[in-house]
Structure 1
Amino acid sequence: MARIAVIGAGMGAMAAAARLAVAGHRVAVYERAATYGGAVGRFARDGFRFDTGPGLLPLPAVHRDLFVKTGKEPLEACVELVQVDPSSRHVFADGTAASLPNASRAGVVTALDEALGAGAGGRWGDFLVRAREAWDRTRRPLLEEPLWPNWEVLAERDPYPAVPHKRLLRTRRAGTLADIGAWELRDPRLASLLESHALAYGLDPRVTPASAAVLPYMEHAFGTWYVRGGIRELARAVHERCLARKVEFVFGAEVTGIVEKDGRAAGLELADGTVAEADHVVAGVAPGVLDRLTAGRAVRGDGDVGPRRGVPSRLTVLLALRGTRPEGTAHRTVVHTTDRQGELDRLFGEPAGLPATPTLTVLRPDDPGLVPDGGHEAVTLTLPAPSGLRVTESDVDRILGVAERAIPDLRDRLLWHETRTPDDIAQATGAPGGAIPAPALAAADGRLLHPANTTRMPGLFTVGGWSHPGGGLPHAGMSGALVAGLIVEGPDFRGSQ
């Protein structure tokens, strides 16, 4: 039985802790905050409750596997999962709207044809077929296996089977999401639908590789799910599973360094001067934090994927509304920008800032547990934002103006609002500027891959969104599975089955 010290109580770190405890190890988690969950937080006021991190759960099979492997009670016995239908409603720049059914290719094709005109659904359906091919080619190496030592293979070739496009006597293939929208979907509204999946992760579709087609495919193939009570309930359930497996949690414990002895990780130094000895250390922290904990030592090899820094963050506005949620309201509405180029230039240009009309996701869950009574509604607005963004009341007012395209009577019903900025994310996660990591993606010279879960310091492993396989709830769960496998089975571990 090995002693394992875990830094941070984020979702990936807790997933690793539960799996390692089941394997017979003695696991202690050290978290500088007063609670678990990392970015999966909660804000409560006046009987309203809101998720401050992700609001929906894609690919629930990852967490089902975690609960199957760590105890007798399955995931559904610990939380109530609800399949969201429609999966999303989209309000496009020209005012047209489409509601897309959950996990139904035929239903989506029909809905898009009816909303956008004959042929639109067929083009999107054909795109999903190609996206599935990219998913099949990359699912194992990007989700279920440790990062390959020869990861350059993943970086060089884009797995998306782009359709040849003839232009000015030249044949070209889509290399980015923007290319797919322009050349294959051939409708600005379909292009906007595609690009919204990249923007949700803070990715610029103009330079994001075509392999990112797997992002909308995951949602289409595996459905969109809501956890009754909010995603924070999933964090609670994972924490309780850890406790049931005898994982020890020490909250308010700031780690100031990783102890090295005889060339390997041997424990943690804490801010109060104590040392927690360990045979293995699992770090669920942002790259800059890891650098500090290792006193600047290069724990990544020269040929390794470098940690991604400076990626965009997220701005969240929580709305407490008087009045009941109208019957038939979509759980999720995406309000698309009316100025695509302006939005991308502001988000990813220099200096970066908040777009005048951002792409906005509006979450309106039908969940009595989130409101004081049936005469109120809790709404969450989210949009990508540059890391470190300073937000003014005029910024919030503009966001509310965009939200009125989805909630016309918003201002008449508004009781109060609460804004969660990139600085709030930075405080919760330790990531500079509140940066949020995207899922690992193939191609693009490895720019969207993440560092391996192993390091050059024996006994030190990394977990969570800043490590392979990157950000997002499913990826965090998979990172926990990968780290547990590498510790339990050793360097010959080849991934989950």
Structure 2
Amino acid sequence: MIGAGMGAMAAAARLAVAGHRVTVYERTGTYGGAVRRFARDGFGFDTGPGLLHLPAVYRDLFLKTGKEPLERCVELTQVDPASRHVFPDGTAVSLPNASRSGTVEALDGALGPGSGDRWAAFLNRARDAWDRSRRPLLEEPLPADVSPLTRDPYPAPRTGLLRRGATTVAEVGRRELRDERLAALLDGYALAYGLDPASAPASAAVLPYMEQTFGSWYARGGMRALADAVYERCLARRVAFVFDAEVTEVVEEGGRAAGVALADGRAVEADHVVAGAPVPALYRDQVVTWQRQDEWPRYQTGAATGRVTVCLALRGAREAGAAHRTVVHSADPAGERAALAGGAPGARPTVVVLRPDDDLLRPDGHEAVTVTATVPAGGVDGPGGPGGAGAWGGGEEAVAAFADRMVEAAGAAVPGLRERLLWREVRTPADTATETGAACVPGPALAGVGGAFLPAANPAPLPGLYFAGGWSHPGGGLAHAGMSGALVAGLIVEGADFRGSR
């Protein structure tokens, strides 16, 4: 197995239980892929995902691989309110966790009568898109004929003057929500998954539907605690890990994958090879060689965004009643979308501020805060692609100035932030590239736009090779990575007859 990311580990544990002898070769010194922690002076920060959605994915993994359930290995709590939103005009709204009626009431109270009903009508259409696409995009292997998934399942409103359905997230917000703040709310969900609202298909409406229906969860000790638990489960199932071991080639014999070659010259035979590394990196670094261009695996071409995360060590305790997650929306959403499309960060991005009330992540009497923004993967002064970090590898002054703007925006969520700041650490797509092999963050699989947002299928063009993790079906995100591991394990154990979870 190549790489010890969450999708690869989810596959490894399941395969080990099925009787396979599994060895994981990881080029870095640790596991978890993008699910990392930065620690300093007693403060700890998640530098990857900060919350978990669809925890049932990992509950199923732990159920199928051992006696101890997930909640015995990780302390999960529902985040309530699920999120607080601060808009440029000064209004703010806190949305409850997994409560449709509570969300309607909150929106009506903060944004005016009728706001909740418009959002609820939108979620009803999002539910239709979810019902139409859930199984093929989340629970089943990607079909050889993806043409049905190239069409957007998000339906047009059934009433009113609009007859032509919206094609992008931004268009849904403008035409159907008819309030700049509601449109910003929708944009925020897309941005959180690394999607540009101006190019993301309308089917991305399933993302707020998923979160508001199934809830948001936090792991005590940060989401790295979930990676720790999955790693420990793999060890308990006798999965072997070899760290600081870079795979340089998937060895092919007789027209199928037969093992891997390592940078230190070793060769390892295998009946199956699972690649958890980013598919673009495998192609870029020629770890896998395809003879013809039409045999190259698909990977998402719809976006090339990354994340800048600013870790803030703050003096003084978190105030009572503070929200765990606050989204501070950009004062210039059109400018932010234009900047993403043009390959440069906006002047004032939308930022997500996470303030976990977690004594494992901060010294007594202090607070650890992360502020995250979605940015072009290429950097502050030029475009980039899925593989490289572009200008994020340099341009320190421009990076610092962008982080300053992020912290300034975060002040709307954290009282007295500037006065309380002890120190900060800035992490860019260059750090993501170092840790994972790709600067950008893959988004979830989405139908529509001719298949531009479909990731690589789990079975590679080379027989015996499989892809697991965020760059393969069903795409990026903690829950999606766990689903990817389950699909790969099912394909290996049950073969071509495997039709997904039931």
1:179 aligns to what? 171
SS at match of 2:496: coil
- Contact 1:453-1:467 at 8 Å conserved across structures: yes
Quote the residue 2:156 is aligned against. 162
Matched, 1:96 2:87: no
TM-score by length of 2: 0.94
* Cα pair distance change 1:300/1:479, threshold 3 Å: farther
Instruction: Sort the Cα spacing of 1:295 and 1:125 in 2 relative to 1 into closer, same or farther, 3 A.
Output: closer
The answer on whether the counterparts of 2:290 and 2:296 sit within 8 Å (CA) in structure 1 is no
1:346-367 superposed Cα distances (whole Å, 9 cap, x missing partner): 1221xx2221111000000011
Deviation at 1:457, TM superposition (A): 1.2
C-alpha distance after superposition, 1:250-272 (max 9, x if no partner): 00101111111111111110011
Where does the alignment leave 5 or more consecutive residues of structure 1 unmatched?
1-5
Q: Distance in 2 between matches of 1:28 and 1:139?
A: 32
SS at match of 1:269: strand
CA contact (8 A) 1:49 1:378 kept: yes
User: In the alignment, what sits opposite 1:135?
Assistant: 130
- The residue number in structure 2 matching 1:71 is 66
**What is aligned with 1:420?**
427
Q: 2:488 aligns with which of 480, 483, 492?
A: 483
Could you say which residue in structure 1 is the equivalent of 2:213?
221
Give the match for residue 442 of structure 1.
447
1:400 pairs with 2:412: no
1:353 equivalent in alignment to 2:358: no
Give the C-alpha shift of residue 236 in structure 1.
0.2
Equivalent residues of 2:296, 2:461 under 8 A apart: no
Structure 2 residue identity aligned to 1:437: P
| Alignment pair present for 1:325 and 2:322 | no
Where does residue 182 of structure 2 map in the other structure?
A: 190
Distance, in Å, in 2 between the alignment partners of 1:72 and 1:490 is 26
* Aligned pairs for 1:375-390 within 5 A: 375-389=365-379, 390=392
Higher mean C-alpha deviation, range 467-476 or range 281-290: 281-290
Q: How much does 1:171 deviate?
A: 3.4
Contact 1:102-1:223 at 8 Å conserved across structures: yes
2:275 to 283, 287, 298: 283
Q: Are positions 1:429 and 2:436 aligned together?
A: yes
Counterpart position of 1:273: 265
1:149 CA displacement: 1.2
**Deviation (angstroms), 1:441:** 0.3
Letter in 2 for 1:16: A
CA root-mean-square deviation: 1.5
Is the Cα–Cα contact under 8 Å of residues 58 and 474 in structure 1 kept in the other structure?
yes
Shift of 1:299: 8.2
Distance change (3 Å), C-alpha of 1:413 and 1:145: same
The aligned amino acid for 1:255 is V
Tell me, what secondary structure is at the counterpart of 1:174? coil
TM-superposed deviation, 1:202 = 2.1
TM-score for the superposition, normalised by structure 1: 0.95
Counterpart for residue 25 of structure 1: 20
Q: CA deviation at 1:308?
A: 3.5
1:495 to 485, 497, 500: 500
Instruction: Tell me which moved more, 352-361 or 378-387.
Output: 352-361
1:452 to 445, 457, 477: 457
* Structure 2 counterpart of 1:3: none
In the alignment, structure 1 residue 12 sits paired with structure 2 residue 17: no
8 Å CA contact 2:279, 2:299 repeated in 1: no
2:329 to 336, 355, 375: 336
Report the Cα offset of residue 399 of structure 1: 1.4
Q: Distance in 1 between matches of 2:457 and 2:253?
A: 22
In 2, the alpha carbon distance for the partners of 1:68 and 1:152 equals 35
Query: 1:33-92: CA deviations, max 9, x gaps?
Result: 111001000110000011110000011000000000000000000000010000000001
**Secondary structure class of the residue paired with 2:234:** helix
* CA displacement at 1:127 relative to structure 2: 1.1
In 1, the alpha carbon distance for the partners of 2:266 and 2:165 equals 58
